[in-house]
Structure 1
């Protein structure tokens, strides 16, 4: 296990928990030879499990206790589980779902077991390639994102629900949930409330988005694995638990692709950007406030006071751009 302070958000499970999960998933005679907790993620607790009768390891992911989850991040693992059939266009890059339990009867927390994907995490491996090959990585990321965004869904909002008939309703609900969570942390959420009011007043512009498309929610370098090849080649995509239905421009991936004027712009060699209009630009400012609100919560959870303060300055910039 990774040793963490008692007050840390991420808390591991016991040896007995791992054994109970393995037996619930694969039968009471299942033998767990080893379980190694993996770092890198900041939400679920993740383990590489070697079973006695298996040639390949499997991956166990355990959600935080329900009472420790923010409302705006509630049951992300269940949302990921519901997303699997919709992610069929990139199924060849994703781990297979082997077992899951959301009843709380085994260890009192949600968990899932997936196949183990070989490959090196992109944040560790990408820098080892020559700089002039990095655009290849981002071009592949653009292809993957385009394949996901091409999927059309039944409602706006999280895959597992609640669903909304209009995009404006989904955005306002999300902003309000994040604001509630921020206030629950005893932080000021007035700027996020103001953004929700602006979104409500501009509902017509938001509702120009009339087709709910599948959004990855969180796809970037940290969610990808690279193959042992001479140039960057994505061989795996992981942890798409924040998927939702909406405007592709609201996806975290699009925000990150535009964050710097560097090799990441190769993303748009394979991903067709929308026509730039005043309404598109306006909506991006609304989406950025939502991203910044979620980041404020994450930084608070990680104990980054400076990061929390930065979020207020950044939201102020976006609100000034939204002012009539």
Structure 2
């Protein structure tokens, strides 16, 4: 995917990164086929690297400091590193190991880290080739993996790297408020007034008070962030949007209120979640609104111009606003 935030580096810089992470003996030789950009992500740039030994690894590099990102994306690589550490320490959910992380800004202008390459297929790219039964089986696995991730308990709501709050209502309203602030700052037209959206959110915010225990939330666990092989998930990737929050905000629940995102039944079956209560339904609709606002506003920050994508995300925002209004 093409995006303004992708911080591409020269072969010379990539070689220097390899030397720092794996030592001089692993720097690739003169061949030209040692490096391939992995293109499916929207935010960070990632390269598949063949080391001199033949081992495959990935270098992931954060956006350059001069590119304006949305508020919730600031410090995303530090969040991802914290998330990987938590997941590996407290769950059996498969995630890549971190071979080396560098936040010195000495070799390039941003944070970066190195990890083993995952031998598998990206579920999002594979999805259209699967039968309905195969898709459901993977969604059940995603549900089970998400449920296990959500067993990790935190001490406060908010960013993994802090600061936090003992109130989910305070944290979530600040999260969605910052997205609206980002949109206003760049003059993004939403088809709905910013003041009206803030009032709508506040009028439903008491539903958030039901959430009293901070849990690890992956939030971005879509098909595109699952690597699969031989019918099973072999790795979950891209953890930079994780936080301490309400598990019901997880991506797999989105379709329970926004049908354009698919069918949530298999995910919920794998997760082990009962049908949503009325208060959970209100919260889930607020979370759908949060996602829809991000999808629309990020098009300005990422300079996305595909008319089909722009029309689709704006339709989702209209749908999300209508659902929250109807509760």
**TM surpasses 0.5:** yes
Q: Is residue 251 of structure 2 the alignment partner of residue 252 of structure 1?
A: yes
Choose the corresponding residue for 1:15, options 11, 15, 20.
11
Q: Is the 8 A contact 1:292 1:315 kept in 2?
A: yes
Shift of 1:72: 2.2
The 1:156–1:233 alpha-carbon spacing in structure 2 relative to 1, beyond 3 Å, is same
8 Å CA contact 1:192–1:289 kept in 2: the answer is: no
Structure-2 change in CA distance of 1:91 and 1:306 (3 Å): same
Comparing 310-319 with 141-150, greater Cα deviation is found at: 310-319
The match for 1:292 is 292
Residue-pair matches, total: 316
Take 1:77 and 1:134, find their aligned partners in 2: how far apart are those partners? 30
Q: Distance in 2 between matches of 1:322 and 1:258?
A: 10
Match of 1:218 among 209, 220, 226: 220
Instruction: Give 5+ residue unaligned stretches, structure 2.
Output: none
Given that 1:285 and 1:322 are in contact with CA atoms closer than 8 Å, whether structure 2 keeps it comes out as yes
Deviations 1:289-319 (A, max 9, x none): 1101110133332224564465555444444
TM-aligned CA distance change 1:216 to 1:278, over 3 Å? same
Question: TM-score, normalized by length of structure 1?
Answer: 0.86
Q: Which residue of 2 aligns with 1:98?
A: 99
Query: CA separation of 1:321/1:239 partners in 2, compared to 1, >3 Å: closer, same or farther?
Result: closer
| Secondary structure of the corresponding residue to residue 97 of structure 1 | coil
TM-score, normalisation: structure 2: 0.86
Per-residue CA deviations over 1:179-227 (Å, capped at 9, x if unaligned) read 1221232213664554334444444321211011111110011011121
Matched, 1:182 2:178: no
The runs of at least 4 consecutive aligned structure 1 residues that moved more than 6 Å come to none
Maintained 8 Å contact 1:299/1:307? no
Deviates more, 1:289-298 or 1:124-133: 124-133
Q: 5 Å matches for 1:227-242?
A: 227=229, 229=230, 232-242=231-241
Aligned Cα RMSD in Å?
2.7
Aligned pairs for 1:124-135 (under 5 A) are 124-135=125-136
